[in-house]
């Protein structure tokens, strides 16, 4: 028997490849399925089943494409109602793969169809659980995403999650290995550990959700501190439930080099969003006007999902040479399939053509420390928790994820400074603000990490926002 965790850091997502005696199963595959096909060929095994722990919200799974290419059936837990052919398993139903078995444990709460897959080895021993978004390391799945579909409140879903965990998962042996669908950084939980594999026994000792003394305490603890889910989550659920265009077609359509003239025409005629995936250091020095910068070398796909409201939005790409296919792949993982093409030759070709360019005013932390005074307006776009831990004295907490909610409160007649932790998120914010006509600001390179090193600017862990610049 072989179990391989295939972990994708950008999405903090784990897919699983299991082989036993000539047969294989894959759990929660990513959108691009070629790597799985290559593994199957290399191991000379047949894919028998594709297991889906639930209808994922944070990424588009590769289940449909993989089933079409291999003939392997897709398996969901009880109550799932996909728009395509699939096996809807019963609670405790067992599936044979080579010499091992996979037992379906229906564990609703994160979603109603959520299921945990228990692996029983060749000797009949319970060996591992593939817990999907039911149980993470250090956390559990958030119960506020499926309220509309389930026609239940988040409290009711949290109650179901408690029953699933305490009645079906906790009674299992301590030495069972836990393989979750996500790790730290995923928006599907709030308190995940950095590790991606653990024993159930250790989780019983370290996971706050598994140590609650009552159902009421569990519900309160799990719901406490939840932030609004990214806006693209609902659209990804719809794609996973209803099916989607094949990845090959998406890549063929998007991997389309456009001349400067064709790129400009496409932008004007389609209203496409221009997405520049270069790093912040390159972007701020020059870019196609109205471009939005989300750097590929970062949490690219989740931030695209947070910032671009509609997965059907037509997109034109500006990339560093050689990264076009990777960009299209990572966009497709979160359902952004409407890629019209990319600027051939990248930004340099635009610049060489003599077209208008734009820039972002950026300064170093040292320059910021020289310019800063008590009257300076500082906007911190980090998460609330980061801000609460420590921030520039009197800075405003305006998380990037909620920029559409606070942008209209800005006063373009007053200059302000903009920063995050290291410069990635603040450049996203800066590009959005500038595209919407806000230009009277300065972005700080290196963010709060750089500002702290100067040791010249007072910081605090107290919230103090008495000024009236923002509502």
> Per-residue pLDDT for 463 more than 80?
no
pLDDT of res. 425: 98
Number of H helices, E strands in the chain: 18, 24
The span from the CA of 340 to the CA of 78, in Å, is: 39
Burial of 102-122, coded b for 16+ CB within 10 Å and e otherwise, reads bbbbbbbbbbbbbbbbbbbee
Q: How big is the CA angle at 266 (ends 313 and 293), to the nearest 5 degrees? A: 55
**Where are the chain's structural domains?**
2-235, 245-352, 362-460
Instruction: Give the pair of three-digit tokens for residue 4.
Output: 């391989």
| Crossing angle between the packed helical segments 300-307 and 424-435, to the nearest 10 degrees | 30
What are the strands, taking DSSP E only, across 331-390? 339-343, 362-363, 378-380
The span from the CA of 296 to the CA of 427, in Å, is: 13
Phi first, then psi: give them for residue 168, nearest 5 degrees: -120, -30
CA 390 to the chain's CA centroid:
25
Cβ contact 272:92 at 8 Å: no
Per-residue pLDDT tens digits for 251-290: 999 999 999 999 999 999 999 999 999 999 999 999 999 9
The span from the CA of 42 to the CA of 65, in Å, is: 19
Q: What is the mean pLDDT of residues 297-311?
A: 92
pLDDT of res. 466: 41
Per-residue pLDDT tens digits for 372-422: 998 999 999 999 989 999 999 999 999 999 999 999 999 989 999 999 999
The answer as to CATH 3.60.15.10 being correct for domain 2-235 is: yes
- Identify which of 53, 60, 48, 166 has the alpha carbon closest to the alpha carbon of residue 96: 48
pLDDT of res. 282: 98
> Per-residue pLDDT for 325 more than 90?
yes
- Identify which of 225, 330, 378 has the alpha carbon closest to the alpha carbon of residue 13: 330
The span from the CA of 15 to the CA of 263, in Å, is: 37
pLDDT of res. 455: 87
Q: Do domains 2-235 and 362-460 have the same CATH topology?
A: no
Per-residue pLDDT tens digits for 203-258: 999 999 999 999 999 999 999 988 888 889 999 999 999 999 999 999 999 999 99
- Identify which of 62, 72, 61, 65 has the alpha carbon closest to the alpha carbon of residue 25: 72
- The enclosing H or E element of 249 equals helix 247-254
The span from the CA of 343 to the CA of 197, in Å, is: 41
- Among the ranges given (21-30, 64-73, 80-89, 460-469), the one the predictor scored with the smallest mean pLDDT: 460-469
Burial of 148-185, coded b for 16+ CB within 10 Å and e otherwise, reads eebebebeebbbbbbebbeebbeebeeebebbbbbbbb
CA 405 to the chain's CA centroid:
20
Fold of 362-460: Oxidized Rhodanese; domain 1 (3.40.250)
> Per-residue pLDDT for 114 more than 70?
yes
> Per-residue pLDDT for 322 more than 60?
yes
Query: Is the pTM of the predicted complex or chain greater than 0.75?
Result: yes
Helix (H, G, I), strand (E, B) or coil at 176: coil
Per-residue pLDDT tens digits for 349-376: 999 999 999 999 999 999 999 999 989 9
The span from the CA of 257 to the CA of 263, in Å, is: 9
Q: What is the DSSP letter of 73?
A: P
Architecture in CATH for domain 245-352: 3-Layer(aba) Sandwich (3.40)
The span from the CA of 317 to the CA of 328, in Å, is: 9
Q: What is the DSSP letter of 395?
A: -
The span from the CA of 289 to the CA of 359, in Å, is: 8
Largest CA distance in the chain: 72
CA atoms within 13 A of residue 300's CA, in its CB half-sphere? 24
pLDDT of res. 227: 84
């Amino acid at each position: 028997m072989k179990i391989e965790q295939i972990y994708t850091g950008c999405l903090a997502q784990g897919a699983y490849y299991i082989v036993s005696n000539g047969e294989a199963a894959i759990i929660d595959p990513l959108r691009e399925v070629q790597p799985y096909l290559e593994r199957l060929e290399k191991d000379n095994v047949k894919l028998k089943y594709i297991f889906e722990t639930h209808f994922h919200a944070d990424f588009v799974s590769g289940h449909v494409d993989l089933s079409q290419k291999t003939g392997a059936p897709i398996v969901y837990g009880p109550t799932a109602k996909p728009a395509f052919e699939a096996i809807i398993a019963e609670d405790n139903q067992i599936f044979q793969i080579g010499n091992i078995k996979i037992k379906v444990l229906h564990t609703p709460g994160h979603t109603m169809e959520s299921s945990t897959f228990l692996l029983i080895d060749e000797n009949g021993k319970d060996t591992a659980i593939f817990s999907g978004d039911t149980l993470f390391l250090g956390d559990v799945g958030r119960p506020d995403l499926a309220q509309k579909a389930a026609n239940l409140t988040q409290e009711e879903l949290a109650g179901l999650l408690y029953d699933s965990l305490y009645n079906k998962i906790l009674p299992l042996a301590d030495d069972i290995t836990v393989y979750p669908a996500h790790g730290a950084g995923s928006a599907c939980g709030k308190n995940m550990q950095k590790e991606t594999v653990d024993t159930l026994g250790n989780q019983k000792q370290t996971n706050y959700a598994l140590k609650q003394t009552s159902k009421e305490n569990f519900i309160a603890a799990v719901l406490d501190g939840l932030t609004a889910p990214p806006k693209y989550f609902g659209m990804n659920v719809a794609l996973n439930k209803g099916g989607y265009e094949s990845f090959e077609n998406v890549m063929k359509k998007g991997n389309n080099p456009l001349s400067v003239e064709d790129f400009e025409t496409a932008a004007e005629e389609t209203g496409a969003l221009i997405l520049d995936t270069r790093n912040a250091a390159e972007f701020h020095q020059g870019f196609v006007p109205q471009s939005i910068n989300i750097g590929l070398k970062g949490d690219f796909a989740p931030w695209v999902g947070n910032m671009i409201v509609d997965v059907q939005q037509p997109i034109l790409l500006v990339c560093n040479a050689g990264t076009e296919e990777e960009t299209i792949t990572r966009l497709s993982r979160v359902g952004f399939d409407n890629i019209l093409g990319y600027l051939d030759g990248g930004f340099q070709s635009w610049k060489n053509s003599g077209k208008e360019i734009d820039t972002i005013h950026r300064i170093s932390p040292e320059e910021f420390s020289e310019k800063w005074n008590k009257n300076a307006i500082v906007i911190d776009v980090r998460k609330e928790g980061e801000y609460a831990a420590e921030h520039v004295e009197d800075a405003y907490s305006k998380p990037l994820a909620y920029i559409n909610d606070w942008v209209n409160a800005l006063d373009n007649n007053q200059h302000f400074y903009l920063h995050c932790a290291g410069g990635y998120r603040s450049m996203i914010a800066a590009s959005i603000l500038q595209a919407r006509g806000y230009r009277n600001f300065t972005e700080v390179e290196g963010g709060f990490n750089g500002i702290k090193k100067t040791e010249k600017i007072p910081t605090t862990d107290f919230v103090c926002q008495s000024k009236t610049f923002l509502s």
